[in-house]
């Protein structure tokens, strides 16, 4: 029988900390919950959980989950990592700080980055509650994971914990930190977020031109759902010739020719530093 894993959750009363704590409570781990402010400690108490001081929790933990804002990871990791025991693992929930070199490291510890993909648009779900879950925890989702530094066996443990804290999880995809940063922020926030803002503005423009908002939103989102399914090969159907021609004639009115520069290292670095509040 494998040894029960002792896990400390730093920021256990925050939004993400609460979500992952609730899931990990369903698994067979020895959990220690850490908050350093009165508000966070009170929130833990409301949920029937006991706060453990980091000075007591970290040295006895096999794995430490850092569930804190990205721009605080540098400062907090400096304190936490120095207290970790040999061969312990630090689990980061976002790649930005690791990519920017803001995470304190130790040669005798492992550092793993994991991030949820959130329930995919066309993933079949078990029930209506799961269908209406946009973040995960009820709906099935996937996770990406990267070994930033350390041992492969600790990476496997980190991935197992990630599956449990974001359950139900279908797949855990191994990537590097550099690849994960292309997924977020470059792909889903810079590119995807910009496109979504464009769709919002399109619906707003239609409303300004006299079309009822409900009609505009229903029509646009319905067509987008279908086009996405076709273009991404979710369904075996072609895009109409008229649609292709309309896109070809107007693509450059919407999309800049050099849009792929968002994936270039200098642009990615500038974006990440901006997110972390670092000097560019």
Reported as a single tens digit per residue, the pLDDT across 120-129 is: 999 999 999 9
* Domain around 266: 189-276
In a domain, 183, yes or no: no
Same domain, 157 and 37: yes
Same domain, yes or no: 140 and 36: yes
In a domain? residue 1? no
Q: Verify that 124 and 160 share a domain, yes or no.
A: yes
Q: 223-235 pLDDT, tens per residue?
A: 999 999 999 999 9
- 27: CATH: 3.40.50.720
Same structural domain, 59 and 193: no
User: Among 154, 176, 198, where does a domain finish?
Assistant: 176
Q: Are residues 165 and 214 in the same domain?
A: no
- Has residue 226 been placed in a domain? yes
| Mean pLDDT value across residues 248-267 | 96
Q: 15 and 138, same structural domain?
A: yes
**Whether residue 216 sits in one domain with residue 119:** no
In a domain, 141, yes or no: yes
| Residue 1 pLDDT level (bands cut at 50, 70, 90) | very low
- pTM (2 d.p.): 0.93
Residues 13 and 145 in one domain: yes
**Among 176, 209, 233, where does a domain finish?**
176
> In sequence order, which residues have a C-beta less than 8 Å from that of residue 224 and are 6 or more positions away?
199
147-203 pLDDT, tens digit each: 999 999 999 999 999 999 999 999 999 999 999 999 999 999 999 999 999 999 999
């Amino acid at each position: 029988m494998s040894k029960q894993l002792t896990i400390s959750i730093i920021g256990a009363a925050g939004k993400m900390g609460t979500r992952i704590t609730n899931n990990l409570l369903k698994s067979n781990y020895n959990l220690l919950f850490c908050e350093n402010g009165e508000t966070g400690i009170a929130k833990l108490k409301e949920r029937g959980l006991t706060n453990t001081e980091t000075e007591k929790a970290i040295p006895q933990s096999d794995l430490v989950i850092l569930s804190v804002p990205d721009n605080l990871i540098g400062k907090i990791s400096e304190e936490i990592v120095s207290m970790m025991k040999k061969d312990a693992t630090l689990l980061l929930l976002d790649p930005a700080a690791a990519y920017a070199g803001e995470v304190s490291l130790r040669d005798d510890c492992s550092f793993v980055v994991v991030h949820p993909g959130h329930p995919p648009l066309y993933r079949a779900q078990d029930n209506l509650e799961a269908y209406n879950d946009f973040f995960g925890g009820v709906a099935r989702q996937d996770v990406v994971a990267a070994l930033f530094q350390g041992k492969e066996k600790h990476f496997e443990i980190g991935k197992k914990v990630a599956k449990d804290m974001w359950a139900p999880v279908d797949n855990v995809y191994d990537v590097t930190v550099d690849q994960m940063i292309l997924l977020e922020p470059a792909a889903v926030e810079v590119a995807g977020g910009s496109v979504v803002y464009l769709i919002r503005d399109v619906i707003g423009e239609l409303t300004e031109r006299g079309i009822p908002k409900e009609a505009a939103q229903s029509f646009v989102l319905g067509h987008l759902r279908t086009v996405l399914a076709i273009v991404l090969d979710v369904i075996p159907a072609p895009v109409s010739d008229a649609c292709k021609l309309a896109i070809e004639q107007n693509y450059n009115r919407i999309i800049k020719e050099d849009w792929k520069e968002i994936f270039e290292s200098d642009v990615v670095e500038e974006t990440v530093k901006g997110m972390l509040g670092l000097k560019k």
